[in-house]
Structure 1
Amino acid sequence: MTQHVLLNNIDHKDLRIIADRSAALGDAVMSCVAFPNEFRNLQAHYPIFFQKDPQSGAFQAIALLGLERGENLFLTDKGWNAHYMPMVLEMQPFLIGTQSRPGEEAERVIHVDMSSPRVSENEGHAVFLPHGGNTPFLEYIASLLEQVHMGASASAAFYEAVDALGLLEPFALDIELKDGRKSRLTGFYTINEEKLYALGGDDLSELNQQGYLQPLFMAVASLSNLRDLIERKNQRL
């Protein structure tokens, strides 16, 4: 069970965070949520797909890390095997929270999941300095959480614009591994390239002005990473 609490330099003066990457620390996941503002970094390593949130029905992007549940093909004995890590994984065990006082606007604050296996008092990165100030590690986490907040805040409008233009289409992929096993990836959506390339000047201009055109092309380019993902799987068989 998660235990989210407001981070502070009194209760958590000795808090340390283990930043290593392993299945035991919660990194054995097939996919994770991704945001358009990180598509450019993601597309160098991971296939980017879209799926519908089972609760709201709204679209969201995901970075595909494995080919079956509980599998992360970027995890190795030496840690994470890619130059960029999706933000929602790198920020763990921290979360974005809000705090408000009477008559004032809510402000963003940092929460930490104290039930996470990354939480320690003996090893890992210190969160606070001996006299209570933020360590460089916490400053980095704060900047990362700000990027996550910006990405999450802008995502809804991005997906609405993309969906309104009919650019998303269902995707299925049949996979045959070198040992003869076959599987099928379903439940995802991709960008319809033909529709994207056929957009008129006004639509392209509007997408570009909103900052949506680059993420669209990054998502299309990312699909070339499927070959690498399958090869990573074959190398482990």
Structure 2
Amino acid sequence: MANHALLNNIDHKDLHVITQRGAEYGDNQMLAVTFPAEFRDVQACYPIVFRKTTDGLGFEPVALFGFSEGENLFLEGDQWQAMYLPMMVERQPFLIGVNGDELMINIDLDSPRLSRTEGEAVFKPHGGSTPFLEQTNSLLAAIHQGLQQTPDFLAALLQYELLESFVLDVELDNGTQNRLVGFYTINEDRLAALDAAALATLHAGGHLKSIYMVLASLSNLRSLIDRMNYRHG
């Protein structure tokens, strides 16, 4: 269970953050939420798909790392084997807090990344922010700004009925069967059937580029299957 608190240089003056990768630090995750501003970097390494939000009322784009809960095929020991680390993974154990119009930095006090002796110091001895904390602040600001684009993007997809559910059945080289369910992708036939006015509207909103980034990312499903074959071979 997460234990969120507002970061401050009194209660957390000795806090350090372990930035090493590893399952013991929570990196054994199947996916991470992403957003249109990050799609260009994400699509170079991972499939981008959509899932229902936890309340079941909407959708959110995610970068896919594996085919089952707790499976990260990019994680080998303490190495994350991809050129790009998604922002929602990199930001751990920090979170964005909002107080009115002001953004705050929260921290998950139950995170295994926290230490009093190991890793990157969060505050200087006399209470100032370290370069690591300043970098984290910039990262969280970029995430917050990027997430603001997601509702408009999803609204456009739903307006033109471009989301469809899909099932991916995978038979590994060792004969085992695996199935990926519960996710959605872009319906390419509906996209191709859109008229010029609809395409112009999507382009004007900056959504057409994001759609094609999602479609391009699906080629990474093949490499994800190859990683799964290697791990279970």
Which residue of the partner structure matches residue 32 of structure 2?
Answer: 32
Aligned residue runs from structure 1 range 122-201, under 5 A: 122-201=117-196
Other structure's SS at 2:228 match: helix
Note the C-alpha offset of 1:216: 0.6
Distance 1:152 1:228 in 2: 27
Distance 2:80 2:68 in 1: 18
> Retained in 1: the 8 A contact 2:162–2:186?
yes
Note the C-alpha offset of 1:175: 0.3
TM-score (norm 1): 0.93
Total equivalences in the alignment: 232
Distance 1:185 1:56 in 2: 19
Task: Choose which of 211, 221, 226 in structure 1 pairs with 2:221.
Answer: 226
Distance 2:69 2:101 in 1: 38
The amino acid across from 1:151 in the alignment is G
Distance 2:160 2:221 in 1: 26
Deviations 1:55-85 (A, max 9, x none): 1420111111011221100101242111111
> Retained in 1: the 8 A contact 2:20–2:78?
no
TM-score (norm 2): 0.95
The amino acid across from 1:68 in the alignment is S
The amino acid across from 1:211 in the alignment is G
Distance 1:135 1:204 in 2: 46
Distance 1:70 1:204 in 2: 38
The amino acid across from 1:202 in the alignment is A
Which residue of the partner structure matches residue 67 of structure 1?
Answer: 67
Higher mean alpha-carbon deviation, 27-36 vs 199-208, is at 199-208
Distance 1:168 1:158 in 2: 12
Percent of counterpart pairs with the same letter? 51
Distance 2:76 2:20 in 1: 11
Can you give the 5+ residue segments of structure 1 that lack an aligned partner in the other structure?
100-104
Can you give the 5+ residue segments of structure 2 that lack an aligned partner in the other structure?
none
Distance 2:56 2:174 in 1: 39
Note the C-alpha offset of 1:89: 1.1
Distance 2:10 2:179 in 1: 50
Distance 1:97 1:39 in 2: 24
Note the C-alpha offset of 1:106: 3.2
| Structure 1 consecutive aligned stretches of length 4 or more whose deviation exceeds 6 Å | none
1:18 paired to 2:13: no
> Retained in 1: the 8 A contact 2:47–2:221?
yes
> Retained in 1: the 8 A contact 2:48–2:64?
yes
CA RMSD of aligned residues (A): 1.3
Which residue of the partner structure matches residue 8 of structure 2?
Answer: 8
Other structure's SS at 2:148 match: helix
Distance 1:163 1:223 in 2: 20
Note the C-alpha offset of 1:229: 0.4
Note the C-alpha offset of 1:91: 0.6
